[in-house]
Amino acid sequence: MKVKVIPVLEDNYMYLIIEEHTREAVAVDVAVPKRLLEIAGREGVSLTTVLTTHHHWDHTRGNAELAHLRPGLAVMGADERICALTRRLAHGEELRFGAIHVRCLLTPGHTSGHMSYFLWEDECPDPPALFSGDALSVAGCGWHLEDTAQQMYQSLTKILDTLPPQTKVFCGHEHTLNNLEFAQKVEPCNDHVRAKLSWAQKRDDDDIPTVPSTLGEELLYNPFLRVTQWQQRRGSHCLS
Ligand SMILES: [Zn+2]
Asked about 173 being catalytic, the answer comes back as: yes
Asked about 56 being catalytic, the answer comes back as: yes
With a cut of 80, say whether residue 132 has pLDDT above it.
yes
**What pLDDT score was predicted for residue 234?**
64
Residue 133 CA to ligand 1 center (angstroms) comes to 8
DSSP 126: S
Asked about 91 being catalytic, the answer comes back as: no
In this structure, the number of other CB atoms found within 10 A of the CB of residue 170 comes to 25
CA proximity to 166, closest of 136, 210, 128, 130: 128
**What pLDDT score was predicted for residue 199?**
98
Asked about 126 being catalytic, the answer comes back as: no
Mean pLDDT of 175-189: 97
Asked about 207 being catalytic, the answer comes back as: no
Question: Please, are residues 8 and 16 in contact by the beta-carbon 8 Å criterion?
Answer: no
Residue 151 CA to ligand 1 center (angstroms) comes to 16
Q: How confident is the model at residue 228 (pLDDT cuts 50, 70, 90)?
A: confident
In tens, the pLDDT along 140-166 reads: 999 888 989 999 999 999 999 999 999
Residue 21 CA to ligand 1 center (angstroms) comes to 33
| Ion ligand 1 residue ranges (Cβ < 5 Å) | 56, 134
Domains of the chain as residue ranges with CATH: 2-233 (3.60.15.10)
Distance between CA atoms of 100 and 108, rounded to whole angstroms? 25
Active-site annotation holder among 110, 114, 144, 175: 110
Helix (H, G, I), strand (E, B) or coil at 218: helix
Active-site annotation holder among 29, 55, 134, 144: 134
What are the start-end ranges of the H helices in 114-167?
149-162
Residue 35 CA to ligand 1 center (angstroms) comes to 21
Residue 44 CA to ligand 1 center (angstroms) comes to 31
Residue 220 CA to ligand 1 center (angstroms) comes to 25
Residue 122 pairs with which residues in a beta bridge?
Answer: none
Centroid of chain to Cα 211: 9
Mean pLDDT taken over the chain: 95
One-letter amino acid for residue 206 of the chain: D
> Distance of CA 86 to CAs 76, 203, 230, Å?
6, 38, 43
46 against 239, higher pLDDT:
46
> Distance of CA 34 to CAs 58, 83, 161, 203, Å?
15, 17, 38, 27
In tens, the pLDDT along 68-127 reads: 999 999 999 999 999 999 999 999 999 999 999 999 999 999 999 999 999 999 888 899
Asked about 175 being catalytic, the answer comes back as: no
Q: Which residues of 95-110 are buried (b: 16+ CB within 10 A; e: fewer)?
A: bebbebebbbbbbbbb
Residue 116 CA to ligand 1 center (angstroms) comes to 12
With a cut of 80, say whether residue 233 has pLDDT above it.
no
**What pLDDT score was predicted for residue 118?**
98
Question: Please, are residues 25 and 6 in contact by the beta-carbon 8 Å criterion?
Answer: no
Distance between CA atoms of 83 and 204, rounded to whole angstroms? 32
With a cut of 80, say whether residue 238 has pLDDT above it.
no
Asked about 110 being catalytic, the answer comes back as: yes
Distance between CA atoms of 178 and 139, rounded to whole angstroms? 9
